[in-house]
Amino acid sequence: MQYISNKNKILKKLIFFILFFTSSCFAEDLRININSGQVDPLPIAIADFTGEKGKASETGRLISQVISNNLVSSGQFKAVDSAAFIAPPTSPSVRPNFTDWSPLGIKALITGSIKNVDDQQIEIEFRLWDVIAETDLIGLRLSVNSKAWRRVAHIISDEIFERLSGDSGYFDTRIVYIAESGPQDKRLKRLAIMDQDGENHQYLTDGSFLVLTPRFSPTTQEITYLAYFKNEPRVYIFNLETGQQELLGSFPGMTFAPRFSPTGDKIIMSLATKGVTDIYTMNLNNQKVTRLTNSVSIDTSPSFSPNGKKVIFNSDRGGSQQIYIMDNNGNNVKRISFGKGRYATPVWAPKGELIAFTKMLKNKFFIGVMAPDGSGERLLAEGYLVEGPTWAPNGRVLMYFKQEAPKDNGKSSSVNLYKIDITGFRETRILTPSDGSDPAWSPLLPN
Amino acid sequence: MVKSTFISFSLHVLFIIIAYYGLPLSKINDPIEQPIDIVEDINIGSQTSLKLGNLDKKQPSKNKKIDSKNPTKKNIIPPPPPTPPGQKIRDNKNLELKKKKEVEKVAQLIKKKPKLKIKKIKESQPPVVVSKPEKKIKDQKMQLAKGILKTLTKSQPISEETKKEKQKKSNKDVLKTIRQIVGNSNVRVAKTEIRLSITDINKIQNHVKKFWKVSYGASEVKMIITLKINTNTDGTVNSVNFFDKSLYIKDKFYRATADAARRAVFDSSPLPLPKGKEKKFENFLFDFDTSFINSY
């Protein structure tokens, strides 16, 4: 009997636990779905980096300024004016009083410090705080040459950008472009390079010969560009690390820019032979040229997909200039643009989800994006002449050049570089010493 | 989560208690169910004791019916007069109906009427039954008032009956208490089941939406970001926890967007909780869906 009663007790306990756990497993929680929000700039405070004894040093102030400019130019952040700060800047090792920052609408706070290690080396430390959640999100310490403080500011900007947006940063990058100066009839065009924010500007050529359409290698610190030497187009590769340039070859019929393949071992270009312009690739290892298209129409401005399997280009084979897609061997050519107007200079985004292009419609130029199948066309920028889009390495920002309408009977017309975020809400002009055109964005610089 | 778990837990505990104590009671339940009929018989009998002799002969069939139901009990209890006044009324009514049937030509309608009346009688019985114990107590008091001897002489059968009655009553009380417990628990469950309207939810959704600032990079997040929220009754947010912590560590897009969602929740504090339903929001989940960014 006792055995039975014990057995019953065990059974009852077992039933109890089964019921309890199953009930807790199937217990329904209240769920509220939030399916919309604002793709708005995030209010951020960048406190001056403190120096010795907690005071902000001049370099610290400059670093915070560069970070601020970088983040604001991305269109994803709104820097709160430091004049509105209630609390003084603190060391990154000190937890800030968040109640000093949250009333200003600040969502994220950056604090940092700078310390001289020796005459040349500096140690920069920073921390990113979530003011609302009252927690730190990231903290880093960097030791660099004191002359490289600007680059450190870009690296810090990249870290903050990535932590708050999820996307890789693009601030520690460079832009190569054609610097233009002089009157329209005697235009001096030089190859120039600068940081993505326009700083550290340098000329790479002296202007003794015309240069066009520079392009960055996706894998190395090399630039390919087109130069007219004695009226003959030549393709060069310029190594930024060594300063040396290499002649790839002369291409009498070259009509448009050579562009690197994703692996960097090939360039793709269009060549005009016997009145027919087609697309070719050149293997940089053995300089073997392969023809991809073979039509009587004009096929130009080719660009590889990020995986290298597809090529987009523009062609007038359908009667008007439109964008086409094909396999990397020239097969399966298919038109993807069907909107009104003419389409040109298609460039595949680094992530592959979008294609940037130039559109011409009713005497106006536009910079736009579309999906690789031609759907979802969006026009981001417009102007008298906007052309030559190039992608930032994270695929979130586009740079292009914009020419103003000619003044003084066509004698003067300024050309400038602009960048715009992919949402199309923030267009920023890049300040250059002279006019600029044909920009090309570098990949992230190696550390 | 905790609340619902607590409710389910308490319900299951209750269920187990009922199951636990109900199992031995269920053995008694068989006689408990029977006394309900017997009580009726006894009461009816007590009311109609003076007419027993007259009605005994008239109601053999009904007694048989009762016998078939409760053969053992009937042996114990003196032959009850089941339906003395009611039967007459029924008979009279049946006669009247028969007359009406003859008079009225619409047979189908008339046929329905007696059914309805029977139901009414059945329904009217319970209040009669309720009043009967009082009358019985009065009779007992009257008997007690007449003299001790009388009560003593009749005490033995009465005591047996009362014992049984007490047993029956106690059983009935147990049943009642169980019913009350079950009933009360149901009421409690009903009270805790706070129903939220669409407007209640929309109000909170629209409030939080205003504070959710996401970057374009959130379009890379292919999953819904779920946050566990704990709030006070005034709507202030106590804590926000990430549901998928492993993904938060692994995926940089998820992490950044989840942080933005957390900021939105804290920023939107206090939440506009519907009045009287605050407890429902003590612990709940927010599902942040980034799919809308693709439309940008």
Q: Please report the ipTM that was assigned to this predicted complex.
A: 0.81
Q: Is the minimum CB–CB distance between A25 and chain B shorter than 8 Å?
A: no
Nearest neighbour of A33 by CB, restricted to B13, B263, B289: B289
Where on the phi/psi map is residue A166: left (φ > 0), alpha (ψ -120 to 50), or beta? Answer: left
Residue B47 shares a structural domain with residue B177? yes
CB contact under 8 A, A28 and B15: no
Chain A interface, best mutation among B196, B198, B204, B216, by max A CB count within 10 A: B216
- By three-state DSSP, how is residue A335 classified? strand
DSSP assignment letter at B271: P
CA separation for the pair A249, A244 (Å, rounded): 16
Q: What is the pLDDT of residue B59?
A: 41
Q: Which residues 376-415 on chain A approach chain B with CB closer than 8 angstroms?
A: 396
pLDDT tens string A129-179: 999 999 999 999 998 888 889 999 999 999 999 999 998 999 999 999 999
CATH class of A174-441: mainly beta
Q: What is the pLDDT of residue B142?
A: 47
Is A441 buried (19+), middle (13-18) or exposed (0-12) by CB count in 10 A? buried
For residues A394 and A168, is the Cβ–Cβ distance under 8 A? yes
pLDDT value at A251 more than 80 = no
- The shortest C-alpha distance from B191 to chain A (Å) reads 17
What percent of chain B is predicted at pLDDT more than 70?
40
Average pLDDT over residues B172-182: 59
CA separation for the pair B176, A43 (Å, rounded): 65
Choose one of B132, B159, B192: the last residue of a domain. Answer: B192
- The shortest C-alpha distance from B58 to chain A (Å) reads 52
CA separation for the pair B163, B175 (Å, rounded): 18
Q: What is the pLDDT of residue A88?
A: 84
Residue B169 shares a structural domain with residue B219? no
Which chain A residues are within 8 Å of B224, Cβ to Cβ? 33
Nearest neighbour of B287 by CB, restricted to A32, A41, A42: A32
Residue B81 shares a structural domain with residue B118? yes
Q: Is the minimum CB–CB distance between A421 and chain B shorter than 8 Å?
A: yes
Residue B21 shares a structural domain with residue B168? yes
Residue in chain A closest to B251 (alpha carbons) equals A166
pLDDT value at B102 more than 90 = no
Cα→Cα distances A129→A134, A170, A191, B15, B251, Å: 7, 21, 41, 51, 19
pLDDT value at A239 more than 60 = yes
pLDDT value at B52 more than 50 = no
Q: What is the pLDDT of residue B193?
A: 63
pLDDT value at A2 more than 70 = no
Q: Where are the beta strands (DSSP E) in B137-282?
A: 225-231, 237-242
CA separation for the pair A79, A69 (Å, rounded): 8
- The shortest C-alpha distance from B242 to chain A (Å) reads 12
Residue B185 shares a structural domain with residue B238? no
- The shortest C-alpha distance from A166 to chain B (Å) reads 4
Residue B59 shares a structural domain with residue B143? yes
For residues A269 and A300, is the Cβ–Cβ distance under 8 A? no
**CA neighbor of B277 nearest in space, from B213, B233, B220, B212:** B233
Q: Which residue has the higher pLDDT, B253 or B26?
A: B253
pLDDT tens string B58-72: 343 333 333 333 433
CB contact under 8 A, A35 and B292: yes
Q: According to DSSP H, which parts of B77-106 are helical?
A: 84-103
pLDDT tens string A348-369: 999 999 999 999 998 899 999 9
Which helix (DSSP H) or strand (DSSP E) does residue A356 occupy?
A: strand A355-361
- By three-state DSSP, how is residue A254 classified? strand
- CATH 2.120.10.30 segments of chain A: 174-441
- Sign of the dihedral defined by the CA atoms of residues B143, B145, B147, B153, in that order: positive
- By three-state DSSP, how is residue B213 classified? strand
Residue in chain A closest to B269 (alpha carbons) equals A132
* Listed range (A133-142, A185-194, B179-188) with the worst mean pLDDT: B179-188
What percent of chain A is predicted at pLDDT more than 70?
90
Which chain B residues are within 8 Å of A12, Cβ to Cβ? 16, 19-20
CB contact under 8 A, B205 and A34: yes
Residue B188 shares a structural domain with residue B279? no
Token pair, residue B127, equals 């209040």
Residue in chain B closest to A353 (alpha carbons) equals B220
Choose one of B134, B163, B192: the last residue of a domain. Answer: B192
CB contact under 8 A, B213 and A38: yes
CB contact under 8 A, B253 and A166: yes
Residue in chain A closest to B254 (alpha carbons) equals A166
Neighbours of A135 (CB within 10 A): 12
Q: How many domains does chain B have?
A: 2
For residues A237 and A267, is the Cβ–Cβ distance under 8 A? no
CB contact under 8 A, A32 and B20: no
Nearest neighbour of A29 by CB, restricted to B1, B9, B262: B1
The torsion angle over the Cα atoms of residues A72, A73, A76 and A78, rounded to 10 degrees, is 20
* Listed range (A108-117, A132-141, A431-440, B144-153) with the worst mean pLDDT: B144-153
Q: What is the pLDDT of residue A75?
A: 84
CA separation for the pair B12, A16 (Å, rounded): 8
* Listed range (A281-290, B60-69, B166-175) with the worst mean pLDDT: B60-69
For residues A203 and A243, is the Cβ–Cβ distance under 8 A? no
For residues B229 and B274, is the Cβ–Cβ distance under 8 A? no
Which helix (DSSP H) or strand (DSSP E) does residue B9 occupy?
A: helix B2-47
Cα→Cα distances A219→A166, A216, A263, A301, B112, Å: 23, 9, 7, 21, 94
Average pLDDT over residues A395-408: 87
Residue B77 shares a structural domain with residue B137? yes
First to last CA, chain A: 80
* Listed range (A22-36, A113-127, B145-159, B280-294) with the worst mean pLDDT: B145-159
Which chain B residues are within 8 Å of A15, Cβ to Cβ? 16, 19
Q: Which domain holds residue B239?
A: 198-295
CB contact under 8 A, B289 and A35: yes
- CB–CB contacts below 8 A, A to B: 146
Residue B153 shares a structural domain with residue B237? no
**Band of residue A15 on the pLDDT scale cut at 50, 70, 90:** low
**Band of residue A258 on the pLDDT scale cut at 50, 70, 90:** confident
Neighbours of B52 (CB within 10 A): 15
Q: Which residue has the higher pLDDT, B207 or B64?
A: B207
Q: What is the mean pLDDT of chain A?
A: 87
Taking the CA of residue A298 as centre, how many other CA atoms within 13 Å lie in the half-sphere pointing to its CB? 14
Q: What is the pLDDT of residue A133?
A: 92
For residues B263 and A130, is the Cβ–Cβ distance under 8 A? yes
**Band of residue B43 on the pLDDT scale cut at 50, 70, 90:** very low
Residue B28 shares a structural domain with residue B146? yes
Q: What is the pLDDT of residue B64?
A: 37
Chain B interface, best mutation among A34, A104, A369, by max B CB count within 10 A: A34
Average pLDDT over residues A317-332: 92
Which chain B residues are within 8 Å of A106, Cβ to Cβ? none
CA separation for the pair B35, B174 (Å, rounded): 13
The torsion angle over the Cα atoms of residues A103, A104, A105 and A106, rounded to 10 degrees, is -110
CB contact under 8 A, B292 and A421: no
Choose one of B192, B226, B243: the last residue of a domain. Answer: B192
CB contact under 8 A, A36 and B287: no
pLDDT value at B237 more than 60 = yes
- Sign of the dihedral defined by the CA atoms of residues A262, A267, A272, A274, in that order: negative
**Band of residue B187 on the pLDDT scale cut at 50, 70, 90:** very low
Q: Is the minimum CB–CB distance between A21 and chain B shorter than 8 Å?
A: no
CA separation for the pair A276, A270 (Å, rounded): 10
Q: What is the DSSP string of A161-220?
A: HHHHHSSPP-SS-EEEEEEEES-STT-EEEEEEEETTS-S-EESS-SSSEEEEEEE-SSS
Q: Are strands A310-315 and A322-327 parallel, antiparallel or unpaired?
A: antiparallel
Q: What is the pLDDT of residue B296?
A: 53
Q: What is the pLDDT of residue A398?
A: 94
Nearby residues of A95 by Cβ (< 8 Å), 6 or more positions away: A136
Task: Say which amino acid occupies B296.
Answer: Y
pLDDT value at A295 more than 70 = yes
First to last CA, chain B: 35
Q: What is the pLDDT of residue A218?
A: 85
Q: What is the mean pLDDT of chain B?
A: 62
Residue in chain B closest to A166 (alpha carbons) equals B253
Residue B50 shares a structural domain with residue B158? yes
Which helix (DSSP H) or strand (DSSP E) does residue B205 occupy?
A: helix B198-209
CA separation for the pair A416, B268 (Å, rounded): 43
CATH of the domain at B266: 3.30.1150
CB contact under 8 A, A167 and B12: no
**Band of residue A235 on the pLDDT scale cut at 50, 70, 90:** confident
- CATH 3.40.50.10070 segments of chain A: 42-165
Q: What is the DSSP string of A396-433?
A: SEEEEEEEPPPBTTTTB--EEEEEEETTS--EEEEP-S
pLDDT value at B134 more than 50 = no
Chain B interface, best mutation among A8, A30, A160, by max B CB count within 10 A: A30
CA separation for the pair A398, A420 (Å, rounded): 5
CB contact under 8 A, B16 and A15: yes
My answer on whether omega of the bond before A302 falls inside 30° of 0, hence cis, is no
Which chain A residues are within 8 Å of B8, Cβ to Cβ? 23-24, 27
Q: Which fold has domain A42-165?
A: Rossmann fold (3.40.50)
* Listed range (A128-137, A293-302, B151-160) with the worst mean pLDDT: B151-160
Cα→Cα distances B236→A97, A107, B243, B273, Å: 20, 18, 20, 9
**Band of residue B98 on the pLDDT scale cut at 50, 70, 90:** low
Q: Are strands A245-250 and A259-260 parallel, antiparallel or unpaired?
A: unpaired
Q: What is the DSSP string of A20-52?
A: HHHHHHHPPPPEEEE---B--PEEEEEPPPB-G
Q: What is the pLDDT of residue B93?
A: 53
